Structure formats: structure tokens, C-alpha cells
Amino acid sequence: DAGVTQSPTHLIKTRGQQVTLRCSPKSGHDTVSWYQQALGQGPQFIFQYYEEEERQRGNFPDRFSGHQFPNYSSELNVNALLLGDSALYLCASSGNRGLSYNEQFFGPGTRLTVL
Amino acid sequence: EDKVVQSPLSLVVHEGDTVTLNCSYEVTNFRSLLWYKQEKKAPTFLFMLTSSGIEKKSGRLSSILDKKELFSILNITATQTGDSAVYLCAKGGNKLVFGAGTILRVKS
């Protein structure tokens, strides 16, 4: 049973560029959440997708956008990259039933470096 | 705004020691509190606590929640070098709200 997968593993971009990160949820999960983890901090919630729609959003600017596909996989897009966007981007998936709703399983992350 | 605070920020112990990690929270609409272990990249799920006073246990790890005093603790007994990691606690729900984590280093 494959867990949550993310690609790419590492990415280096320059300021002003755009980036797309990808996530495939754990088998049987239909909800995908994205988090940004800066060095030395806990993950910060960016947004969550369910049924191909953004269900909830954290305090991130509109430069951060996402998409969920019919197969439940998801993309995170960041436009006009800033140095401060350098972080580990984590994707988490969960089922949308009862308490399992709260058990979010994380992927290995994408390390984004903005130069 | 929901807030989760962990202490200590970091901890160095010797193999065999017992450690207690703390997590306090100020949140609205509390549903659950979760503990994760993060070694290199992906946080791995440890426990989910929803009821006060009930200890969750898995091997040498255990955790308990106090909903009245708004805190949780994670205990690790007989620590091993493999326990070295960042331990994160988070308020559960659609949007997990994490603390900054406790960095645990276990020396052999």
C-alpha cells in the first residue's frame, strides 16, 4: 500500500519564478492538505482540497494556489517566488470519515530553495 | 487565533533515560490533539488524543491529555538513539495547527 508520495524531492528556483509541486495521496484517501515548514518551525497550513475544491485556507497570499484532480492527487503552485518561500513543503492526506478525518498522513516533502 | 506551544525547545539525554515532552494549547473548537515524530522529512503519526485522562500507549511511548488544563505530555521511557527526532504536537481538525516542536537528541 503506497503512502503519500510527493515530487520532486528537491527544487532550486530563483526569485520571481513559478513552481509546481505534486502530491499523490495514500490509497483510499480523498482529502489533501498542504503545509509549509520553514527551518526550525512546525508546519504551517496552506490549504486543503476535497472534491476538487479548496475547502479551507491558511494565512498565505494568493501567490499560493492549488488544484485537486479527479484521482485525488493535488498540485501546489507558487508564483513570483520570494526568498522567504524557501522551505519544506509537505503534503498530507486523510479520509473524510469520522475520526480518521483527523489522522493526516504526511508525504516526504519537497525541499524548495529560492535563490 | 489557535496557539500550540511546546517545551522544551530542545533536549539532550543519554540512552536509557526517560523524557517528558510538553504541549500546551489555546484553541477554539477543540476536537483532538495529535503527536508526530519527524526524523528527516515526513512527520510520522504517533498518537491522537480526544478524551481527557486516558493514556495512549505504544511500546515505550505514551501520551495523555488534560482538557481542563489544556495540555498534553508525551513520555518516552528507556530512550534509544533511534528516538532522536523532532517531536511535534498539533491541534487536530481540517487544519492542523502545530507547535514549533521539541528537538530530542539521545546520546549513546
pLDDT of residue A99: 54
Cβ B36–A106 below 8 Å, yes or no?
A: yes
Residue predicted with more confidence, B16 or B1: B16
Name the residue facing A102 among B4, B34, B100 (closest C-beta). Answer: B34
Confidence of residue B41 (pLDDT cuts 50, 70, 90): confident
Task: Give how far A106 is from chain B: nearest CA, Å.
Answer: 6
The CA-CA-CA angle for residues B104, B60, B67, to 5°, reads 80
Q: Which residues of B touch A92 (CB under 8 A)?
A: 96
- What is the band of B69 on the pLDDT scale with cuts at 50, 70, 90? confident
- Over residues B44-66, the pLDDT tens digits come to 999 999 878 788 999 999 999 99
pLDDT-flagged residues of chain A (< 50): none
> Cα B93 from chain centroid?
17
Q: Do B41 and A104 touch (CB under 8 A)?
A: no
Nearest 5°: CA angle at A52, between A29 and A97? 35
Inter-chain CB proximity A43 and B98 less than 8 Å: yes
* Spatial CA neighbour of A113 closest among A5, A14, A7: A14
pLDDT at residue number B37: 97
